[in-house]
Structure 1
Amino acid sequence: MSRRTATAYTEQPWRIHEFTQDFTVEDVWSFRTPGAGPDDFPTMLAAMRAGGGLAKQPLPARFLFAVRWKLGALLGWDKPQAGVGRRVASLRDRLPDDLRSAPRGHDDANMPLKPVYELPIESTRELANKTVHTVMHLGWVRGADGDYELRMTVLVKPNGRFGRLYMSAIAPFRYLIVYPALTRQWERAWRDRDRLRDAGESS
C-alpha cells in the first residue's frame, strides 16, 4: 500500500465526482494486486469479503474499533437520528437515474458503511454519525507497472468544529494502525483469492 495525493482520485473518470463536490478528500491509498487485469474489480471485492472484515483485523485494530464504538455508545455519537437518512441525506438521493438503478453492492450487517452503488470499476459506501458524514470509494486503476490496482479514497464532511477536531484526533491512529492492518488484510485477500473462493464454494 502507498499513500497517494488527492489528484490520484480527482483525475480518474469516476462517476462519484458528479455528486460529492461538497465533500473533502481525506485520504487516498493504493493497494497492490499483482497480475490483476481490467475486469478483476469484482474478483477483488469478492476476495475482500471472503477475507473477512473487522473480525479478521489484528488485535490493535480491533481494539481501536471496539474503543470507538464504546465511546460512541456512551456519548451518543452513533444514535440513529445522527445517521444517514436522519441527520444527513443519503448519497443515493443525489444519484442520477442510471446509477440509482445500478446494483448497490453487497450489504453486510456487520459493516458500518452501507453500500450506495457498485459498478464494474468503482464501488461506494457511506456512513454518518454525530461527528462526520463519510464516504469510502473503491476504484480500479491501471498502475505504473501495467497491472491494475485497488485505490481507496475516503471523503468526509465533518459535522462542524467538533467533527473537524474528531477527524484530526483520529488521524494518527488511522495512519499508524488502521490503514497498515487494512493493507495486509486486503492485499493478502487478493493473493489468496482462489483459495478463499474455493473455501466459500465448499462451505
Structure 2
Amino acid sequence: MYTARPWRIHEFTQDFTLEDVWALPTPGGPDDLPRLVKQFTSDDDSEMSAAVLRVLFAIRWKLGALLRLDRSEDGVGKRVASLRDRLPDDLRDGPRGPDFAVVPLRSVYQAETEWAAEMANKTVHVVMHIGWVPDGSGGYRGEMAALVRPNGWFGKAYMAGITPFRRTLVVPSLVRGIGRNWSKYA
C-alpha cells in the first residue's frame, strides 16, 4: 500500500491529496529506477501513441489556452513555491533528477527508490511520484502516484470534472504505453 511505504515524499506533501496510484508494467531488478526515469523524461512521446490520449490531451491543451489555465505566472515558482523549497537537506543536496522533455513537469528529487516531479497551473499543484517497489515474486516494478493540491473551488471542480476521463481513458492508455515501451530503455 502506497501510504504505508516509507517514501520520502510523505515528509513534505501533507497538504496534498493522494489522487491515484498505479502499478506499472515495468518488470525489472532492484536498480532499475533510473531506467524508468529515463523513459519518463525522454523526448520519445510514444506512450501517447493511443489515439484516445492524443485527442484528450489536444482538447485539454486547447481548453487550457482558451481559459488561460497554463500561464507561466500560475506555475511553480510563481503561484506556488516549488517542493524543492520544502526538501530536507539530504534530498536538496542530492540528485534532482532530469526534467521532462515533452511535458511541463520539473524534477524535484531523485533517490535510490523514488523520484518526484511537479507542475502547477491555475487549477492545481500536482506531484507525480514514481517509486520502485518489490513485485511480490522476487522482482521489482514501478509504481506511479499522483498527489494533488487543488487551487480553490475552481481547482476542486476541475479535478472532479476530469476524474472520470483520467481513470477510464487516460491512465489505462498511458500505463499500457509505458509497458509497451519499457524494453526500449534497457
Deviation at 1:58, TM superposition (A): 1.3
State the alpha-carbon separation in 1 of the partners of residues 46 and 71 from structure 2.
21
Deviation at 1:51, TM superposition (A): 8.2
Query: Quick one: which amino acid aligns to residue 164 of structure 1?
Result: K
CA contact (8 A) 2:25 2:176 kept: no
Provide structure 1 residue ranges, at least 5 long, that are not aligned to the other structure. 1-7, 195-203
Deviation at 1:33, TM superposition (A): 2.5
Q: What is the correspondence of 1:33-112 to structure 2 with a 5 Å cutoff?
A: 33-34=26-27, 36-49=28-41, 52-53=44-45, 56-112=48-104
Provide structure 2 residue ranges, at least 5 long, that are not aligned to the other structure. none
Residues 173-182 or 155-164, more deviating = 173-182
User: In the alignment, which of 16, 24, 36 is matched to residue 31 of structure 1?
Assistant: 24
| Shift in CA distance, 120/191, structure 1 to aligned 2, threshold 3 Å | same
Write out per-residue CA displacement over residues 25-75 of structure 1, whole angstroms, 9 at most, x where no aligned residue.
0001111233x1111111222244458236743121011111111111111
Residue 122 of structure 1 corresponds to 114
- Larger of the two Rg values belongs to structure: 1
Residues 101-110 or 165-174, more deviating = 101-110
TM-score, structure 1 as length reference: 0.85
| Shift in CA distance, 159/48, structure 1 to aligned 2, threshold 3 Å | closer
Question: How many residue pairs end up in the alignment?
Answer: 186
State the alpha-carbon separation in 1 of the partners of residues 47 and 26 from structure 2.
22
Query: Quick one: which amino acid aligns to residue 190 of structure 1?
Result: W
Deviation at 1:125, TM superposition (A): 0.5
| Shift in CA distance, 51/128, structure 1 to aligned 2, threshold 3 Å | closer
| Shift in CA distance, 126/187, structure 1 to aligned 2, threshold 3 Å | same
Are residues 1:168 and 2:160 paired?
yes
Deviation at 1:163, TM superposition (A): 0.8
| Shift in CA distance, 54/20, structure 1 to aligned 2, threshold 3 Å | farther
SS at match of 2:169: helix
